[in-house]
Chain A
Amino acid sequence: EAQVTQNPRYLITVTGKKLTVTCSQNMNHEYMSWYRQDPGLGLRQIYYSMNVEVTDKGDVPEGYKVSRKEKRNFPLILESPSPNQTSLYFCASSLRTGETNTGELFFGEGSRLTVL
């Protein structure tokens, strides 16, 4: 089954304790992206990656890191989480090459993070 898998789905942590949210897709997609969703602010892009070893900042990259060492995985790293990073996080992927791609995003189920 084609899917984007995020882990953990739920996490409560404390300020300053490094954490990683993993994201994996099994569709051989080139493009992957992380979003956070907050009430009244909608989906905001954190980082995106057009392909392996290529990453770019989105609209709200501060406090986050990403890496894309292999095509299927795109982990989101919070080196020193703060309470303002409490949010619902979504990973997404799409096929983004050539004239035939639609850019249709496939989303994971979300990771709800609480930073105390």
Chain B
Amino acid sequence: SQKIEQNSEALNIQEGKTATLTCNYTNYSPAYLQWYRQDPGRGPVFLLLIRENEKEKRKERLKVTFDTTLKQSLFHITASQPADSATYLCALADDKIIFGKGTRLHILP
């Protein structure tokens, strides 16, 4: 069955450093992969999308890579700030959109 794994439940990063989150998947060939941010008690908010034929995508301090051979996506936040603290979800999309369990990121001042 299809499986998505995000590398850790929680990640603590010092302010100003780069946070790197990992998303691995098996038994799936997604057309594209998405990353979302979710704050406590709120709905997820879309951040970035990367297609299967793209290696890298950037948006301000965010960068996403997509390696279809390794079946892995990396999500980077550079110059991290306490306001970046949230849960980050990766999602794989074809006909359905299915989500990983998320990684809770804490940026420590």
> In the complex, what's the smallest C-beta–C-beta distance from B7 to chain A, in angstroms?
14
**B93 surroundings in chain A (CB, below 8 A):** 103
Q: Give the one of B45, B101, B102 with max A CB within 10 A.
A: B101
B interface residues, how many (CB within 8 angstroms): 21
A41 within 8 A of B: yes
Q: Is the CB of A40 within 8 A of B97?
A: no
Take A42-B89, A42-B102, A43-B99 as given contacts and tell me if A106 and B46 are in contact as well, using a CB distance cutoff of 8 Å.
Answer: yes
User: In the assembly, what is the distance between CA of A107 and CA of B18, in Å?
Assistant: 28
User: In the assembly, what is the distance between CA of A90 and CA of B89, in Å?
Assistant: 14
Q: Is the CB of A42 within 8 A of B100?
A: yes
Instruction: Tell me if A's interface is mostly helix, strand, loop or mixed.
Output: strand
Which of B42, B46, B89 interacts with A43 by CB under 8 Å? B89
**B97 surroundings in chain A (CB, below 8 A):** 33, 45, 94, 103, 105
> In the complex, what's the smallest C-beta–C-beta distance from A88 to chain B, in angstroms?
8
The B37-68 residues at the A interface (CB cut-off 8 A) are: 41-46, 49
Q: Is the CB of A105 within 8 A of B46?
A: yes
**A106 surroundings in chain B (CB, below 8 A):** 46
User: In the assembly, what is the distance between CA of A113 and CA of B42, in Å?
Assistant: 15
**B41 surroundings in chain A (CB, below 8 A):** 110
User: In the assembly, what is the distance between CA of A45 and CA of B2, in Å?
Assistant: 13
Q: Is the CB of B44 within 8 A of A102?
A: no
Q: Is the CB of A108 within 8 A of B95?
A: no
> A residues near B, CB below 8 A?
4, 33, 35, 40-45, 48, 50, 56, 58-59, 90, 92, 94, 102-110
Given contacts A103-B97, A110-B43, 4 further A-B contacts (CB under 8 A): A41-B101, A103-B93, A108-B43, A109-B43
